[in-house]
Amino acid sequence: MAETIANLYSETEIWKWLGEVPDPEIPVVSVIDLGIVRKVTVIGGGVIVDVSPTYSGCPATEFIEDSIKTKLQAEGLAAVTIRRVLSPPWTTDWITKAGRDKLLEYGIAPPASSASMRDLLGKAEVHCPRCGSNQTTAISEFGSTACKASYKCDECLEPFEYFKCI
């Protein structure tokens, strides 16, 4: 009798492996840090991973899904299904505390607070990731990726990116 995946690999172990899959645009954070992995289901001879894109049209979505599948297959899971989940849509509220800390340490200001209407309309207080000042100025709503904006600190005068609330 063939063993099922559930007998060979624990869900906890699979979540750990997913924590090693970096975001291709911000490699300091994992797909777990970003909160885009919704659910892991170990079923019979395989595993299903539910993933939400950060926004519809994100150019990294398919690459992320392929990276997850490749990582799990490298760990010995042959039957990996990625299921794209669009509802409810992902928000920056799902970025973990560890993910926010990693963004900050990397020099990217994490989302200011929650994906509230105030923050979504650009009225959030953005702190400089280098000196911590809240005296910052938006330079452009567009950064190196669609989910980031360009800012400068009015105190230390350093430019930085801000991970926009979505």
pLDDT value for 45: 80
Per-residue pLDDT, 1: 36
State residue 7's pLDDT score: 58
pLDDT in tens, the chain (166 residues): 345 555 578 899 999 999 999 999 999 999 999 999 999 999 888 999 999 999 888 889 999 999 999 999 999 999 999 999 999 999 999 999 999 999 999 999 999 866 555 555 656 789 999 999 999 999 999 888 888 999 999 999 999 999 988 8
Beta bridge partners of 122: none
Q: Are 17 and 74 within one domain?
A: yes
Answer yes or no: do 118 and 77 share one domain. no
Residues 150 and 137 sit within 8 Å (Cβ to Cβ): no
Domain that holds residue 126: 108-163
Tell how far CA 138 is from the center of its chain: 23
Domain total for the chain? 2
Domain assignment of residue 94, yes or no = no
| CATH code where residue 52 lies | 3.30.300.130
Q: Which of left, alpha, beta for 122 (phi over 0: left; psi -120 to 50: alpha)?
A: left
pLDDT at 107: 97
- Whether residues 116 and 76 share a domain: the answer is no
For the purposes of burial, counting CB atoms within 10 Å of the CB of 26, is it exposed (0-12), middle (13-18) or buried (19 or more)? buried
